[in-house]
Structure 1
């Protein structure tokens, strides 16, 4: 059984703390590059609960599936599309509203992973475009509402990548020369996302079981 929500914007979409999400993402990036998998997993669970309003069991299940896909992707050297079903299962575990096309969400999630790997240090623009499409699919909104949020997050990733290459300590170092700028960009990105979602047109949403 499913229940139809009133014809207003779904409260799960814009109702998150953008600064908290930015902080969680910064901590996740640092944990990833410093090879702290347990910390990374815990932060991912918290981020899923914040952004998708998932219960603890759903956030945990989704985090397991998404982490598994990310680990397999990290070890791969090609044929990346085979990871899309794994990513989709992770998003499906969140039990998002029925209007959300989880296959499309997974496709764009994977796309931004791939462009960073294939393009390298100049991937900011392409990554931002993929992230914007990811947001549009995840929140079921027109892409123009979330394009700036995507651009800023993609730029944050590029700043981090370039900074890490130039840092004598490498990716696992303190990153004093770049993390502050990355933090500013991610905070601006999530604030832009929040604003874009609040201004999106109202529409009915069916909530899953």
Structure 2
């Protein structure tokens, strides 16, 4: 007698389902690889080529969310700024946004210069990523130091003409040039910070629109400044 093979061949419907699932799995893996490549593939950032009006619009939103201590939206704003205007990859844009927003959070919670230094590593990482993706050969530690310095001066009630100097010097370190346009950009931004501080919690929609308009002027000066090199003396005491 011959042994009887009791195994059953899969039905046509079962074979079809298996093939369909295999195709779905392969497609999902392929899509995941594409998404990862899109998110993490290195891209060269464009530090000197940006739309000043769009930068000002996003920047004004970031200011508002900073003062409201809405760090999630602040991260989103900075992500959009890096993604749309710098052209950094999604992953790098998220890194930049998170480092900057976390530095702001650490600083806002500090009560002294010594405590505020805890924000410095995040600022250094923030600028380090920008240097990596842009290829700009600037001193990240110096840029971070100047950034934190003008934050400190603002909190210590220095006048806008004072903290505009380290702001301008920070931009000069980042872009490797210093001129009247960069100086004016920093001065306009500093005046708007003081203007907002004077209003505190009484800011209205019209007030924020005014800030956006002035930030637009500041950003136009910045773009003009980084695309030319009309050298002048750097801010006193804050040599880039």
Alignment partner, residue 155 of structure 2:
117
Alignment partner, residue 193 of structure 1:
222
Aligned structure 1 segments of 4 or more residues deviating by more than 4 angstroms = none
Alignment partner, residue 5 of structure 1:
none
Q: CA deviation at 1:22?
A: 0.6
Q: CA deviation at 1:33?
A: 2.4
Alignment partner, residue 204 of structure 2:
174
Q: Which has the higher contact order (CA 8 A, sep 6+)?
A: 1
Matched, 1:139 2:168: no
Between the aligned partners of 1:40 and 1:23, the Cα distance in structure 2 is: 13
Alignment partner, residue 25 of structure 1:
59
SS of the residue 2:156 aligns to: helix
Alignment partner, residue 206 of structure 1:
none
Mapped contact 2:45–2:87 kept (Cα < 8 A): no
For structure 2, list consecutive stretches of 5 or more residues without a partner in the other structure: 1-43, 231-240
Alignment partner, residue 204 of structure 1:
none
TM-score, normalised via structure 2 length = 0.69
RMSD: 2.2
TM-score, normalised via structure 1 length = 0.78
Alignment partner, residue 145 of structure 2:
107
Mapped contact 2:124–2:140 kept (Cα < 8 A): yes
For structure 1, list consecutive stretches of 5 or more residues without a partner in the other structure: 1-9, 165-169, 202-209
Mapped contact 1:145–1:196 kept (Cα < 8 A): yes
- Bigger helix fraction: 2
Residue in structure 2 matching 1:163, options 180, 199, 207: 199
Cα distance, 1:127–1:91 mapped onto 2, change above 3 Å: same
